Amino acid sequence: MRTIPATILLILLLLIALPPPPPSAMALTADGLALLAFKAAVTEDPTSALSSWSESDADPCRWSGVTCANISSAQPQQPPQPRVVGLAVAGKNVSGYIPSELGSLLFLRRLNLHDNRLTGAIPAALSNASSLHSLFLYNNALTGVLPVAALCSGLPRLRNLDISSNALSGELPLELRGCRGLQRLVLSGNRFSGEVPGGIWPEMAPSLQQLDISSNTFNGSVPPSLGMLGKLFGTLNLSHNEFSGVVPPELGRLPAAVALDLRFNNLSGAIPQMGSLASQGPTAFLNNPALCGFPLQVACRAVPPPTLSPAPPQNTSPSTAAAAADQGRQHHPIKTNLIALISVADAAGVALVGVILVYIYWKVKDRKKSRDHDDEDDEDRKQGLCRCMWARRGRGGSRDESDDGGSSDDDEEEAGVRKQGGGGGDGELVAIDKGFRVELDELLRSSAYVLGKGGKGIVYKVVVGGGSTPVAVRRLGGGVGGADRRKEFRAEARAMGRVRHPNVVRLRAFYWSPDEKLVVTDFVGNGNLATALRGRSGEPALSWAARLKIAKGAARGLAHLHECSPRRFVHGEVKPSNILLDADFTPRVADFGLVRLLAIAGCAQDTSLPQPPPPSSGGLLGGAIPYTKPAPGQGGAGYRAPEARTAGARPAQKWDVFSFGVVLLELLTGRGPASDHASSPSTSASFSGPASSSTGTTTDRSGSGEHGGGAGVPEVVRWVRRGFEEDSRPVAEMVDPALLRAAPTLPKKELVAAFHAALACTEADPELRPKMKTVAESLDKIGS
């Protein structure tokens, strides 16, 4: 047996004793090296967001902010390999620059670096990451020119590009039209300049859904080709630029759901009244000093045609021309009798015009009286939105006093008034409808079924009219409002009673005395939306058809309150418990104007009751289902707009738009405003439309709540907005699982359109939200 030399044994022992080579030298992937290049480009990391990124860890999928997916290899015999598909270092306040090495992440789909302090240029090498779907770099300090040509040619899958609130400069090149698949383009808050090429938008029209180029220094005319963007929703924002010229009439071709923002430009001329332009409010055109016409309160002045006086003959001096004119007058004197005849004719013409105007005035007045009487009987049968004309109704609700004025003669003509004793003092029971007959004793002594009790009084069901007519009675209580506020209470209640719409609960009568106030409304016998969404024992979940019907009807009712009611009411508490349901699931909006009535009556909400108040106290005005305790975080506060949470804020119609958007999201997702989506069960479903697909199994370890934050924004809004704008989450993962179980195949286009409407309603900036009329018109188009 041969022996091993001692030198060889010594070498072997030394090799065994040496430490192994670092993993980065033998195992760190190309994706890991690219990520380490980004870490090296970061100069400050105050929150230690990249502390877990280490060369000693060969698996970058374990690093914070990194999302990986198993990607199948081109060679079938090799198993799928984990590759980086998402990088989210957002809101971490890191400083540095964006290295070109990130372009080597060939399977990167989402790059979220927004809300940091990154500087320098956007590297053109990012175009090498050909799988990139969403690029979010907003709220940084990036400079230089946007590499449009490289990005549009190298990123065929790019859908979302948001580089707002940086310091990027240069002109918008025509090459942007190469980004044909782009759905969301946000360039606001930069230093872009020059004219906006009109040739960009026809190429992007089939896919572009959001466009915001506000707060730059773009100049020239507004491209008429923007009117070709038929897939837009939300707001087309061109505000805070230097656009000049007229408002292109072609913008009227935009979808009705699109809100236009042209504020703070140099536009001039009359605002075209066609298509979607005719439905815009005055806010869309403010701070354009030379703009005129409806809806602005600036009349367009008619320019008189120039008066041409006969030119003097050529080669004559001014003195010769004057002499010739005098000579002409001397040769053609005007006779005195002709002057008298002209004067008499003028006077007769003026008198005739006056007689015609007086005749027209009285005919219009008589016709209006006749129409008003007919409308009382016919209004209930009218379907859809009121077609009121903004120009006739004035601007800014100037008709409040005229519509709701308090002359006692009108009171007696409009409703039956009965002086009755009750509650320890003289009071009056006023029936809004002449055909509605009820006695106070009948309301107070009839056997009643209590529907709810809360800070807004007790609600109970009473059967009147000999047992044939069920009504809902809200007992507001005593309060401190005395006779000095009786007229105010009556005027407010009467204005509420004049609201007639099939999707609004109708006020039938009210009672006033110093220590007792009652409100009598229609009784709606199938409960409210909150109860229907939570599910009733033994009943199936609401179908998609029923949910869409409820959304459409509630939108019509709110639009009627905003546009066509006497006071242009702001509801102020739109939530599922305030949307009552008929037997066929026709929705009826309840409790509008109630807060104002309580304030007038001096009936403050009872703060001694448990908080939050039960939804039935706000929504059982006519609802038959008794109170059940809401889920945590599902009270009315979760549906309020962010600006409505400020103390002393004045109610606005855009509050209702936001609240309706949250309700619509609850109809779609089955989740209230404060639901926890992190633990939501995944449910697969098929759609009658193009299917959404994702490759591999995705593991998100970012732990960041990027995009969608903001004080007062409900969690469900942030979750859905992230799903659409950043994560590209399949619609099936956001739809209510109960809805999917009931109908595995759903119309995807209808769901996506409804989601888009809800997201437009829940914009954080109230100026960007559409009107309820626009929302209702958009929903009516779904499924039709």
**304 versus 636: which is more confidently predicted?**
636
Tokens of 647: 């103390």
| Res 430: pLDDT | 82
> In degrees rounded to 5, what are phi and psi of residue 377?
-85, -30
Mean pLDDT, range 523-550, rounded to an integer: 84
What is the rounded average pLDDT of the residues 460-484? Answer: 71
pLDDT at 323: 45
Contacts of 760 (CB under 8 A, 6+ apart): 233, 234, 235, 257, 259, 661, 768, 769, 770, 775
SS3 473: strand
Element (H, E) at 360: helix 336-378
* Most confident by average pLDDT, 117-131, 282-296, 460-474, 753-767: 117-131
Instruction: Give the residue among 531, 591, 588 at the shortest CA–CA distance from 554.
Output: 588
How high is the mean pLDDT of the chain? 76
Whether the bond between 737 and the residue before it is cis, its omega within 30 degrees of 0, is no
Contact predicate 56/23, CB 8 Å: yes
Tokens of 49: 């967001």
Residue 561 has pLDDT above 80, yes or no: yes
DSSP code of 246?
P
Least confident of 237-241, 273-277, 340-344, 625-629: 625-629
Q: What is the DSSP string of 492-543?
A: HHHHHHT---TTBPPEEEEEEETTEEEEEEE-BTT-BHHHHHH--TT-PPPP
Which of 60, 115, 81, 51 has its CA nearest to residue 726?
A: 115
Interhelix angle 544-563/653-669, nearest 10 degrees: 180
pLDDT of 444 > 70? The answer is no
Q: Is the peptide bond before 502 cis (omega within 30 degrees of 0)?
A: no
Of 141 and 703, the one with more pLDDT: 141
The whole-number pLDDT of residue 369 equals 52
Q: Which candidate, 710, 345, 402, places its Cα nearest to that of 718?
A: 710
Mean pLDDT of all residues in 20-42: 75
Question: How many angstroms separate the CA atoms of 447 and 443, rounded?
Answer: 9
pLDDT in tens, 294-351: 888 788 876 554 444 444 444 444 444 444 444 444 444 445 555 566 666 667 777 7
Q: Which domains does the chain have, with CATH numbers?
A: 23-292 (3.80.10.10), 404-692+730-781 (1.10.510.10)
Residue 706 predicted with pLDDT over 70: no
Helix/strand number for the chain, H first, E second: 21, 30
* Closest listed residue to residue 458, CA positions, set 519, 534, 513: 519
CA-CA distance, 278 to 338, in Å (whole number)?
Answer: 50
On the question of pLDDT at 536 being above 70, the answer is no
Residue with tokens 């808050």: 189
pLDDT at 380: 42
The token duo for 706 is 């990027």
Q: What are the strands, taking DSSP E only, across 310-382?
A: none
DSSP string, 84-110: EEEEE--SS--EEE--GGGGG-TT--E
Residue 391 has pLDDT above 80, yes or no: no
The yes-or-no verdict on residue 16 having pLDDT over 90 is no
User: 506 near 386, Cβ under 8 Å?
Assistant: no
User: Is the distance from CB of 69 to CB of 697 less than 8 angstroms?
Assistant: yes
* pLDDT confidence band for 434 (50 / 70 / 90): low
Q: Judging by DSSP bridges, how do beta strands 81-88 and 110-112 pair with one another?
A: parallel
Find which of 218-232, 517-531, 565-579 is predicted with most confidence, using mean pLDDT. 218-232
Judge whether 261 and 215 are in contact, CB under 8 Å.
Answer: no
Buried residues in 525-564 as b, exposed as e (16+ CB within 10 A): bbbbbbbbbeeeeeeebbebebbbbbbbbbbbbbbbbbbb
DSSP 309: P
Helix (H) or strand (E) holding 487: helix 486-497
Model confidence at 702, pLDDT cuts 50, 70, 90, reads very low
Place of tokens 């900036």: 765
Of 69-73, 246-250, 768-772, least confident by mean pLDDT is: 69-73
C-alpha span between 252 and 382 (Å, rounded) = 28
Amino acid at 53: W
Q: What CA–CA distance (Å, rounded) separates 354 from 351?
A: 5
Q: Quick one: pLDDT at residue 186?
A: 93
SS3 25: helix
116: confidence class by pLDDT, cuts 50, 70, 90: very high
pLDDT of residue 708: 39
Type of residue numbered 237? N
Q: What is the pLDDT of residues 191-231, one digit of tens each?
A: 999 999 999 999 999 999 899 999 999 999 999 999 999 98
Asked if residue 435 has pLDDT above 90, the reply is no
The C-alpha angle 126, 127, 132, rounded to 5 degrees, equals 85
What Cα–Cα distance (Å) separates residue 199 from each residue in 150, 236, 409? 19, 17, 64
Largest Cα–Cα distance of the chain, in whole Å?
155
Full-prediction pTM beyond 0.75? Answer: no
Nearest to 757 by CA among 781, 740, 733, 728: 781
Pairing of strands 235-237, 259-261: parallel
Give the least confident one: 169-183, 477-491, 632-646: 477-491
Least confident of 78-92, 239-253, 544-558: 78-92
Q: Which residues contact 647 (CB under 8 A, 6 or more apart)?
A: none
Q: 611 near 449, Cβ under 8 Å?
A: no
Q: Is the pLDDT of residue 479 over 80?
A: no
- Which residue did the predictor score with more confidence, 616 or 439? 439
- Helices 715-725 & 748-761 angle (0-180, nearest 10): 120
At 448, the pLDDT band (50, 70, 90 cuts) reads low
How many CA atoms lie less than 13 Å away from 13 in the CB half-sphere?
7
Q: What token pair was written down for 676?
A: 């926890």
d(CA 22, CA 733): 42
Least confident of 19-33, 312-326, 520-534, 761-775: 312-326
